[in-house]
Amino acid sequence: MQNSTAPSPPIRRTDYTPPPFLIDTVALEFDLVPERTLVKNTMRVHRNPDAARAPHLELFGEQLEFANAAIDGVPCSAVRLVQHGLTVENVPDSFELTISSLCKPVENTTLSGLYVSGSNFFTQCEAEGFRRITYFLDRPDVMSTYSVTLRADKAAYPVLLSNGNLLEEGDLPDGRHFARWEDPFCKPCYLFALVAGKLVCIEERVKSGSGAEKLLQVWVEPHDLGKTRHAMDSLIHSIRWDEERFGLELDLDRFMIVAVSDFNMGAMENKGLNIFNTKYVLANPETASDTDFANIEAVVGHEYFHNWTGNRVTCRDWFQLSLKEGLTVFRDEEFSADRAYGQSNGSGEAARATKRIKDVLALRQMQFAEDAGPMAHPVRPESYVEINNFYTMTVYKKGSEVVRMYQTLFGRDGFRKGMDLYFKRHDGQAVTCDDFRHAMADANGRDLAQFERWYSQAGTPRVAVKTAYDSAARSYRVTLTQGYGDAAPAARETQKGALLIPFAIGLIGKDGADLPLRLEGEASAASGTTRVLEFTETDQTFTFVDVAEKPLPSLLRNFSAPVIVEFDYMADELAFLLAHDSDPFNRWEAGQRLATRELLALAGRAASGASLQLDDSIVAAFSRVLTDESLSPAFRELTLILPSEAYMADQMSESNPAAVHAARQFMRKRLATALRDEWLAVYEQHHTPGEYEATPKASGHRALKNLALSYLAELDDPAHVVSRASKQYASANNMTDRAGALLAMLNAPDSGRGNQAQEVLDDFYRRFEQEPLVIDMWFALQALRRGSAKRPVIGIVRELMAHPAFNLKNPNRASSLIFAFCMANPAQFHCEDGSGYAFWAEQVIALDSINPQVAARLARSLEMWRRFTPALREGMRTMLETVAARVKSRDVQEIVTKALA
Ligand code: TRP
Ligand code: ZN
């Protein structure tokens, strides 16, 4: 039914019309049986006075078996089953509609709708999964209150959860029992959830700001109970933070988090019953890395913050997705930054900058790439074929940057005023990105009409900077020019005009200190040494006056807008900024520019077979950072780790993964050799003895120490490095150190001791056999290996596909092996014989019939094919065509069609 082969037409934003009917209340009754679950759905329906009159009520339904229907208690025969669901003909203006239907949770491998994971039931309704549970007006602008009765076998499903408050529970005949839940808040159906099974929880009672007592629970399988503390702490911190920073209180008496190991994404903000991928809940020091701990805090925060930004105020239609996702990512980024600040005792700004750098790295590596390819779309897309394909880096991360720009323009207080007005106007409503922008504009007395272009134009803006110092006039002119360069066709058609770009700038004097800033026409220098220029024209010149000496500009401080800055710094100027910029983000940025420039030159030489050499001044600049103890270890690690191979390949005029790999490896080895003693000293200085702490400070030490180890593993004679690594591996009291040591051993050149790497891998597997999330990492580490001509990684990957612990149906496991190889090991994946592409095609086709959402994500790893060298391009195109001819899902069809267009 849903998998017809006829291409699906796109849905367009401008075709929006209000729903012809509204549903006030929904009463759901579930008889939960894995093979055949009966769902009885009783709805109070009435005609929407604000919509065009429609005689028939059309409800969506997918993969459902219709049983019967009644209107106002009378069996109804005016029901017609249609392709997308069912039509109830000639309905009255207001009525009660009851529909019963059946679904098959145990056969549902899509993980959308009602499904079984392990032996428990879970649901995932966003975006359009509710229609796989019952017939409904499955669209976010239809909001209802829900009452849910769950019935199931008591021994097999002792715990029965749904949204809101538990009203009643009790036993039924035949060993069954029931629970009745009621959610007092109106919500769209995508926020519905149920969970049933053998689960246990930790719980806490906390008082919210107004003094009300709240019950918090984290539900997991019994053997995972000891890994829930960090998630609970993260939830408590999230609740406090939203009260303090935004005055937003938890509105329910009870808030639950449930972990499930089969899940398509990170987590889901169902009202009062958040459902999480286990990866973002379970942690203890032995099994979870520092990154895992940080991700859990961020995702718990993200889902919790949705309670206001997403749930209390929701989206009118799915084109507005960034209204909730961009805003909520911004909120979780700020939450993590504030947490890092609070835990840093004294070095708060550096800790905040570290978080900012990581967020910008992710944006640039993934969102900039998306914006340059065939899937480029505005933060508020104009059309889609399958909405699941639009949970993208653009909607989430560029969306977050767009929200951040309001705060950059209006300050934290102005932003807060805008948020307050947004909730005052729209609490309980389903609204648009324009509504949010208007609240920000009105609360701050500003016209933000031009700012709308950030929502409607795709592609990454470029800002070219020209400067001129006039020593006689003591003035410094900064001319900014904006455009999109040669954007991808998908982006170009959306580009209409200049953006309002908040462009933060500082001027640095010869001594490295910031100069005072006074713009022409101003009476005196403004306070502070960073100015946010409002750059609104295609070309615009800003003149600073009273500038005593020729300054060095520090551009786009703290990455004040999601753009690419083009300015021809000299290498020694970058080294100067790296040493002196008062803006920690731009200090890091100067190092990135230096490294990127060097790597690009090296990759160019590698591509043409020329010999490689690293400039001594680069080594010197790196050496200064490595040994500068006034810099936080976390900052040093971020500066010294070279840009990723994937990012570097994107920077080339023609992506050449093999050349990038050669260049990056060469540079790593040179830095390892030239700074060997410094790396060794840093390695010894940054141990974190004593009990494990997941604080930003402790993880900074571990990050720098393990980076040192990884550089040292590049040395030709790695014997003493391997012995250090092996000692670290054996004595580690946490996963970051154990995995860091394992990685160093995997990468160290084989010093004739043969199978040592394999022995550690085997040991690692045995130690953690019972821990699926760690075994995921075990698969990933191997998919990410460097490989050699004798042993290409595709061979390792194919062997691992046959490993008894491999399971294509589990998204975490599938991605640990397949996605890691196809997306994060470019040099091996883009192997010239095309073996990587053939493997990709096989897996996309296999996943397509299991889980289209996951298949579509994997399909995206070839979308940039036109940007590669001709030899690789052909191989990719062939496999894209193979896949296009074979796959059935709308999800994958949309991706490959756009890639080939
Ligand atoms: N709303 C979820 C979030 O970002 C995203 C999500 C979870 C999702 N599961 C999904 C989106 C399944 C689409 C399909 O917090
Ligand atoms: Zn979200």
In this predicted model, what pLDDT tens digit does every residue of 360-417 receive, in sequence order?
A: 999 999 999 999 999 999 999 999 999 999 999 999 999 999 999 999 999 999 999 9
Query: Predicted confidence band at 2 (pLDDT cuts at 50, 70, 90)?
Result: very low
Q: Identify the residue whose C-alpha is closest to ligand 1 atom 15.
A: 268
Ligand 1 atom with minimal separation from the 267 CA: 7
Q: Identify the residue whose C-alpha is closest to ligand 1 atom 3.
A: 268
Residue in the structure block whose two tokens are 């017939």: 135
Write down the pLDDT at residue 650. 95
Pocket test for ligand 1, best of 111, 115, 126 (most atoms within 8 A of CB): 126
Query: Predicted confidence band at 668 (pLDDT cuts at 50, 70, 90)?
Result: very high
Q: What is the pLDDT of residues 254-280, one digit of tens each?
A: 999 999 999 999 999 999 999 999 999
Ligand 1 atom with minimal separation from the 396 CA: 4
Q: Is 714 in the pocket of ligand 1 (CB under 6 A)?
A: no
Q: Which residues of 820-834 are buried (b: 16+ CB within 10 A; e: fewer)?
A: bbbbbbbbbbbbeeb
Q: Identify the residue whose C-alpha is closest to ligand 1 atom 7.
A: 268
Residue 3 has pLDDT above 90, yes or no: no
Q: Is 391 in the pocket of ligand 1 (CB under 6 A)?
A: yes
Average pLDDT rounded to a whole number, residues 290-316: 98
How many helices and strands (H and E) does the chain possess?
30, 31
Residue 755 has pLDDT above 80, yes or no: no
Distance CA 166, CA 180 (A): 6
Report the alpha-carbon angle 259-260-266, nearest 5. Answer: 80
Average pLDDT rounded to a whole number, residues 74-78: 96
Answer whether 851's CB lies under 8 Å from 819's CB: no
Write down the pLDDT at residue 290. 98
Residue 4 has pLDDT above 70, yes or no: no
Residue 764 has pLDDT above 50, yes or no: yes
Write down the pLDDT at residue 5. 55
Write down the pLDDT at residue 754. 59
Q: Phi and psi (nearest 5°) for 59?
A: -115, 145
CB atoms within 10 A of CB 515: 21
Pocket test for ligand 1, best of 111, 112, 124 (most atoms within 8 A of CB): 124
User: Which region, left, alpha or beta, applies to residue 164 given φ > 0 means left and ψ of -120 to 50 means alpha?
Assistant: left
Active site residues: 303
Q: Is 542 in the pocket of ligand 1 (CB under 6 A)?
A: no
Q: Is 124 in the pocket of ligand 1 (CB under 6 A)?
A: yes
Write down the pLDDT at residue 752. 59
CA of 418 to the centre of ligand 2 (A): 20
Distance CA 56, CA 74 (A): 18
DSSP, collapsed to helix, strand or coil, labels residue 409 as helix
Average pLDDT rounded to a whole number, residues 678-697: 96
Pocket test for ligand 1, best of 329, 391, 396 (most atoms within 8 A of CB): 391
Q: Is 812 in the pocket of ligand 1 (CB under 6 A)?
A: no
Q: What is the pLDDT of residues 778-801, one digit of tens each?
A: 999 999 999 988 999 999 999 999
At how many degrees (to 10) do helices 229-246 and 399-426 cross?
Answer: 60
Query: Predicted confidence band at 550 (pLDDT cuts at 50, 70, 90)?
Result: very high
Report the alpha-carbon angle 182-183-185, nearest 5. Answer: 150
Q: What is the pLDDT of residues 421-462, one digit of tens each?
A: 999 999 999 999 999 999 999 999 999 999 999 999 999 999
Query: Predicted confidence band at 58 (pLDDT cuts at 50, 70, 90)?
Result: very high
Write down the pLDDT at residue 753. 59
- For the CA of 388, the nearest ligand: 1
Distance CA 774, CA 761 (A): 12
CA of 892 to the centre of ligand 1 (A): 18
Ligand 1 atom with minimal separation from the 266 CA: 7
Ligand 1 atom with minimal separation from the 303 CA: 15
Q: Would you state the structure tokens that stand for residue 538, as one six-digit string?
A: 């295609």
> Residue 888: exposed, middle, or buried by beta-carbon count in 10 A (0-12, 13-18, 19+)?
middle
Query: Predicted confidence band at 526 (pLDDT cuts at 50, 70, 90)?
Result: confident
Average pLDDT rounded to a whole number, residues 570-582: 97
CA of 358 to the centre of ligand 1 (A): 22
Q: Is 268 in the pocket of ligand 1 (CB under 6 A)?
A: yes
Q: Is 388 in the pocket of ligand 1 (CB under 6 A)?
A: yes
Write down the pLDDT at residue 750. 75
Mention every residue, 6+ apart, whose C-beta is less than 8 A from residue 689. Answer: none
Distance CA 40, CA 42 (A): 7
pLDDT, the chain, mean: 97
Q: What is the pLDDT of residues 159-186, one digit of tens each?
A: 999 999 999 999 999 999 999 999 999 9
Which 8-state DSSP code applies to residue 107? Answer: G
Q: Is 269 in the pocket of ligand 1 (CB under 6 A)?
A: yes
Q: Is 851 in the pocket of ligand 1 (CB under 6 A)?
A: no
Q: Would you state the structure tokens that stand for residue 574, as one six-digit string?
A: 């970058």
Average pLDDT rounded to a whole number, residues 650-655: 96
Report the alpha-carbon angle 790-793-799, nearest 5. Answer: 105
CA of 328 to the centre of ligand 2 (A): 6
